[in-house]
Copies of this chain bind each other. A is one copy, B any other.
Amino acid sequence: MTAIKENSTIQENKQYALDTCPVTYAMQKIGGYWKPIILYHLSGGDKRYSEIKRAIPAVTEKVLIQHLKQLELDGLIIREAKPVVPPFVTYRLSAAGTGLMPVISAMATWAFKDMEGAFGA
């Protein structure tokens, strides 16, 4: 289902990468420009939409929501909306999102080492 355009080799290739490479699978889910940053901010606890927005001023609203929706679809975060007069929406990490944290921090650790040339730059 969710039909992929048949006449597109690029899609086949993507599919191949997804099938053969779990890392590519993971990247699909955290590979947005801002997704790791969002995830990081949520790792500190629940946040409402406007808090996230203020925490990451460089991202546009469109992209932020786009990513939040995607992360929700991917089951990494959970959206809770209270149907009150001024909208009140909170986002928090799901189990899968929490399970991603070690990965994120492993990457971060590596990045810091690499940045300071610990691998012999």
Residues of A within 8 A of B (CB): 12-14, 16-17, 20-27, 29-31, 33-34, 36-37, 40, 58-59, 75, 94-96, 99-100, 102-104, 106-108, 110-115, 119-121
A-B contact pairs, 13 of them (CB 8 A): A16-B58, A20-B37, A21-B37, A22-B107, A22-B111, A22-B115, A23-B107, A24-B33, A25-B111, A75-B119, A95-B120, A99-B110, A99-B113
Label chain A's interface by main secondary structure.
Answer: helix
- Find out whether the CB atom of A95 lies under 8 angstroms from the CB atom of B111: no
- Find out whether the CB atom of A23 lies under 8 angstroms from the CB atom of B108: yes
- Find out whether the CB atom of A96 lies under 8 angstroms from the CB atom of B111: no
- Find out whether the CB atom of B106 lies under 8 angstroms from the CB atom of A119: no
- Find out whether the CB atom of A40 lies under 8 angstroms from the CB atom of B13: no
Known A27-B31, A27-B36, A75-B119; judge A103-B110 contact (CB<8 A). Answer: yes
